[in-house]
Structure 1
Amino acid sequence: VKGSGQILYGPQTVGGMINFVTKPVPRNGFAGSLTGVIGNNDYRSAHISMGTGNERGGFMVDGLKRKGDGIRDNHKFDVEMFSVKGEVKLTDQQSLMAKVSRYEEQSNVSETGLGMLEYNEDKFQAPTGNKDKFFHERTALHLKHIFDITPDAKLSTQAYYTYSNRASRRLLASDEETGGILTGRSIISSNGNPLAATEANANLSDGAWRPRQYKVWGFEPRLDFKHTLFGLNSDAVVGFRYHEEDITRRKFEFEGGPLSLNDTIAVGIFDERIKNKVEAKSYYIQNTFYAGDWSITPGLRYEDYTIKQSVQDGADPIVTGKKSPNELLPGIGLAWNGINNTTIVNACLEVHH
C-alpha cells in the first residue's frame, strides 16, 4: 500500500491489500442457500449458508466442503471450512459483531519434479505424490464493537485471534542430479543413495516433516469523525493498533521410508527450530479535506515493534537475536472526482527510519 493508504493499514502490505467482504447476517427473517458443484478430476464441492435475524440482530452459519484429485496424479485434496457469525444491536448507538471460523485441509502436493522423458510421457504424472502430505488446521475469532457517538462520530474497536497449525511431509530429491539429467527421469534419495522417483520407490525415500505453529492476536480502537476545520468539510481518522505474533517452525528428517509426523519427531533426525516473537504498536492519524471535486489526504503513522528470534540448527547451540526498530511514516494523497463514477488518485510518500 502506497501513499495515504498505508497510514491506516501499515507499510508491510507489499503489493496492496485484499478486503474480504463476507455475506451479511440476515436482518429480515430466515435466509439460506445451498450450492453443489461437480467437475473433472473427481472435483466435488458443497456450500451451505443459513441464518435468521431482525432489526435487533441475527446470526448465520456457513459451511463449505471441497475435495478432488487435483491437477496432477496423486494430488488429492480435502478441504472443510465452517463459520458462525452473529450481530446484535446493544442499544440505539451500540452494536456488537462476532465471528468464529474453523478451517481444515488434508492434501497431497508433490515437490518432486519430472525429468524430460517423464514429462513427455505424461506431464500430469506425480509418481511420488501420494507420499507427499500437507495438513492445515486454523481457528480464528473476530470481535467488533461499534459505538455511534453522534451522527458524525463513530468509535469502532476490534479484537482478533488466530491459531494455525500446519505441517508438510516432502520426499527428498537426490543431490546427484547428473543421473536425472542423463536418464531424463527424476531422482529421489534413499538412505542417502540416488533412486528413481517411482511410486514403488517412494516407500523407500528419505524426506522431512516441517511442522509450523502460528499464533496471532491483537486489538484496534479507531475513531472516525466529520468536521469543518479551516472551513472545509473533512473526514478524520485517529487510531491505535496492538499486535502480537508467536511463530514456531521446525524440521525433522527421516531416512529409508516415509514416517508419520509423530514417529518422525520421536525417532527421526532433528534438523532445525526457528522461533519468532513479534510485538508491534501502531499509532495513526489521517484527515481528508474536500474542496469541490478535489480531496487531499495527509496523514501520519508511527510504528514501534520488537522482533525476537531464536534459531537452533541440528545439534548446534541456540542462537538468539533481537531488534526493536521504529518508523515514522508521513503520507499524503490527492484525488479528483470531476467525472461521474471516476476517481483519479495521485499519492506520494516519504518514509523516515
Structure 2
Amino acid sequence: MKQRLVLLSFVVSVLIMAAKFAVYYASGSTTLLTDALESIINVVAACFAYYSIYLASLPKDLNHPYGHGKIEFFASGLEGVLILLAAAYIFLHASQHLYSSPELKSLDVGMAVSFVSAGINGLMGYFLVKKGRSSHSPALVADGKHLRLDAYNGILVVAALALTYFTHWYWVDSVASFLFAGFMCWQGIHLMRESVAALMDETNPALFQKVTDWVVANKKEEWIDLHNLRVQQYGGDLHIDCHLTLPRYWDLHRTHDEIHGFEEMLKELQATHVEIFVHADPCLDECCSHCSIADCAIRQAAFSKKIEWNQMNLALNQKHFNETLARS
C-alpha cells in the first residue's frame, strides 16, 4: 500500500514538473523556475522514498537484527539536502536577474499552471501525511509534508506572478525567488534536523508520552515499579526496553507469564510491529511503601502512597522510592 502511494506521488510529480518547466521556458520567470526546481526534488524524493519503503519492508536478518526501518529517516534527510541544493541554485539564478529587466511572457499561463499544481500537490500531500501517520511511515510523512509545502509555495508563486503581471514590476520576480529560496532553506534544514535526530535515536517526546500514557492506563498492581524505559523508532516499527519490578517471591514461571502479559499489552499500542525487551527486577524492602499488593506475605512496611509514572522518572535507570532513589 505504501509503495503504491509513493508510486502515485512519483507519477503526479513528473507530470507537474513537465508542466512547470514548460511554462518557465515560455515565460523566463525566475519565480516559475523556483517552482519547477522544487518539482525535481519531489520526483527524486519520491524515487528514494519508494526504495526506502521497499527496504524497510524487508524482514530482519543477521546483519540487521533491528530491521531496515531506519532507511526511511535517511530518505527524509536526503530530501532535506536536495531542497538546500535547489535553494542555493535559486539564490544564484535570482541574483543574476535582480538588476536586469528580462522580458517575461505568458505569465497568465504560468499562474494557471502553478495554481492547478498547487491544488494537486496540496491534496496529494494531505493524503500522504494522513496515510504516513496512520502507518507510522517517516518516508511517507516527509514526502507528504514536502508536497504540502510545495502547494503553499505554489500559492505564493501565483501571488508573485499576479503582482508582476499587473504592475510590470519585474524586480518582484527575483525578490519573490529569494523569499521562496529562503523558505526552502528553512524547510530543508528542518527535515535534515528531524532525520539526524531519529538516526541518532534522540528521544521523541510525543512518542515517549504516548507509551507512558498507554502503560499507565493499563497498569496492574503487580507491576510494582517501572524504570529505564527506552523507546526507539525504526521506521514504522518501535523497539521498547524497560525494567519491570515484580514481587520477589514469585517463581520463574509466574514471572515469565507476567512479563509476557506486559509485552502483549505494549504490542497493542499501535498497529505496526512493536519489539519489546523487558528486564525483570525483584522488589526490595524499600518498595513496600508504594506497593499496593494487598496479600503480600513479606511486606516490611505499610503502603503509604503511589508514585506517579511519568516521562521523567520512567526514563531513569533507578527504582523509584517515595523520597529517595536507589540504583537497581
Answer yes or no: same fold by TM over 0.5.
Answer: no
- The structure with more strand, counted as a fraction of residues: 1
User: Structure 2-normalised TM-score?
Assistant: 0.23
User: Structure 1-normalised TM-score?
Assistant: 0.22
